[in-house]
């Protein structure tokens, strides 16, 4: 096992953990589960488990649709984690008896206008060039799959391996799994890492990691809506739909219980207010793509803070000057899809003491001087209110 400070005397063995995890979001809880399942004594510190970004997240598992230009290493990690999701979901369901809304119908990517389609096709060509499964569909083929799509939709493509899960079911299930494996939850915040008494500390505090470690993790605000099909029926579509609509980028995630998640803004801000303009833009784009949404109930408008990093990729592994403090943060738009692989790689590191080569591109020391800039003032600003995941 990776081991830092000297073991405590036998009299305190009952209370002193082998590993302390700071943060009980999906990342911290999954790491706690994996570590406890290996027989390690685990304590998880969080005053409000599951109250971070995961509380609002859509739950798309979209390594293909979110394979963006210039992010090849991140795409590799996303694909590797998505490949672990079927077994991860099955194990979680078996361990807890809880269904987490894991669905495999796939993702449709669509363009409303000719310009939207041209923009989308540039990305699909890039994704196909990486060898990813993206199948262009004619409008008639699109409507065969999803008749509820607006007749104006000009074209689309299918990413059959991009799935979804419900984060509001996932996080409580992970908490149950971690606790059943023996992890102990301490409902208090950690103000300083020096307050934590454990040989190894894992910082999985989402946006809270910056204050604890000085790592360049910044809040990236996302406003998101939840609608509900009338009369308790399931939504009139089955795929996750990611659409370009008159220049706006939105996604629609249908749940079996009638809920539809419609998101999301991407804003370089740290507040969680919901603005009328964002709600208007999301609804307009959503209804343009799927007109029946206009008849749905609007049940929630909320904002969350993604833990962003300068290169949009997570920070995984030891702090540069503190080998027994492991970062597992900065998952930005991808923390749900990256939950299984993060948990496995960090638990392997804690248990075996040797970093998996997969961790190499995501080391905490990769930012160099850029880290200080980002930590103090954030990265280059993007357009406030830009819509996407
Ligand atoms: C609008 C929106 C949509 C999203 N959609 C998707 C999606 O479709 N797919 C996807 O993969 N990802 C999505 N994400 C991103 C995803 O939600 C995050 O990447 C993920 O939640 C990160 O998990 P985490 O456990 O690291 O952090 P969080 O979920 O933010 O949890 C952090 C936890 O740490 C605790 N904490 C913080 N500071 C401290 C401290 N000092 N001491 C103790 N505890 C502390 C908090 O209370 C919280 O419980 C979305 C995010 C947003 C905002």
Cβ atoms 326, 359 nearer than 8 A: no
> String of b and e for 15-52 (b: at least 16 CB within 10 Å)?
ebbbbbbbbbbbbbbbbbbbbbbbebbbbbbbeebbeb
Confidence band (pLDDT; 50, 70, 90) for 373? very low
Within 8 A by CB and 6+ apart from 21, the residues are 28, 31, 32, 35, 42, 43, 44, 45, 183, 201, 202, 204
pLDDT digits (tens, 9 = 90+) for 57-92: 999 999 999 999 999 999 999 999 999 999 999 999
**Nearest protein Cα to ligand 1, atom 19:** 335
CB 269 within 8 A of CB 219: yes
For the entire predicted model, the pTM comes to 0.94
- Sort residue 72 into left (φ over 0), alpha (ψ -120 to 50) or beta: alpha
> Do residues 271 and 310 lie in contact, with contact meaning Cβ atoms separated by under 8 Å?
no
pLDDT higher than 80, residue 389: no
Ligand 1 atom at minimum distance from 336 CA: 11
What are the structure tokens assigned to 161, written together? 């391996």
The candidate with the shortest Cα–Cα distance to 313, out of 295, 290, 331, 338, is 331
User: Residue 3's pLDDT is what?
Assistant: 73
| DSSP 3-state of 14 | coil
Ligand 1 pocket at CB < 6 A = 22-28, 45-46, 48-54, 56-60, 189-190, 204-206, 208, 212, 222, 224, 263-264, 304, 306-307, 329, 331-337, 389
Distance from the CA of 26 to the center of ligand 1, in angstroms? 7
d(CA 177, CA 337): 18
Helix axes 167-180, 72-96, angle to 10 degrees: 60
């Amino acid at each position: 096992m990776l081991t830092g400070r000297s073991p405590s005397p036998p009299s305190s063995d009952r209370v002193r953990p082998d590993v302390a995890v700071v943060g009980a979001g999906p990342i911290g809880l999954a790491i706690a589960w994996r570590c406890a399942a290996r027989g390690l004594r685990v304590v998880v510190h969080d005053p409000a488990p599951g109250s971070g970004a995961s509380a609002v997240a859509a739950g798309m598992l979209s390594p293909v649709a979110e394979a963006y230009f210039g992010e090849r290493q991140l795409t590799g990690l996303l694909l590797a984690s998505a490949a672990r999701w079927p077994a991860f979901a099955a194990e979680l369901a078996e361990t807890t008896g809880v269904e987490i809304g894991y669905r495999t119908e796939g993702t449709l990517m669509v363009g409303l206008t000719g310009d939207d389609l041209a923009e989308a096709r540039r990305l699909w060509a890039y994704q196909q060039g990486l060898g990813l499964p993206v199948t262009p569909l004619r409008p008639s083929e699109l409507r065969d799959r999803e008749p509820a799509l607006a007749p104006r939709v000009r074209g689309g493509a299918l990413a059959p391996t991009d799935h979804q899960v419900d984060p509001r079911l996932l996080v409580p299930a992970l908490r149950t799994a971690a606790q059943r494996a023996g992890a102990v939850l301490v409902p208090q915040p950690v103000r300083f890492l020096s307050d934590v008494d454990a040989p190894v500390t894992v910082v999985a505090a989402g946006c809270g990691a910056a204050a604890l470690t000085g790592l360049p993790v910044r809040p990236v605000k996302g406003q998101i809506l939840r609608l509900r099909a009338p009369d308790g029926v399931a939504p009139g579509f089955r795929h996750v739909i990611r659409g370009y609509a008159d220049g706006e980028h939105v996604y629609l995630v249908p749940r079996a219980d009638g809920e539809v998640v419609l998101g999301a803004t991407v804003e370089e801000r740290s507040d969680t207010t919901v603005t009328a303009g964002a709600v208007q833009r999301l609804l307009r784009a959503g209804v343009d793509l799927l007109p029946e949404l206009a008849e749905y109930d609007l049940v929630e408008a909320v904002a969350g803070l993604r833990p962003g990093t300068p290169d949009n990729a997570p920070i995984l592994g030891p702090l540069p000057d503190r080998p027994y403090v492991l970062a597992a943060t900065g998952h930005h738009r991808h923390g749900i899809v990256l939950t299984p692989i993060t948990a496995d790689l960090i638990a392997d590191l804690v248990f075996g003491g040797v970093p998996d080569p997969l961790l190499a591109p995501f080391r905490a020391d990769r930012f160099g001087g850029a880290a200080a800039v980002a930590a103090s003032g954030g990265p280059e600003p993007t357009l406030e209110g830009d819509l996407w995941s």
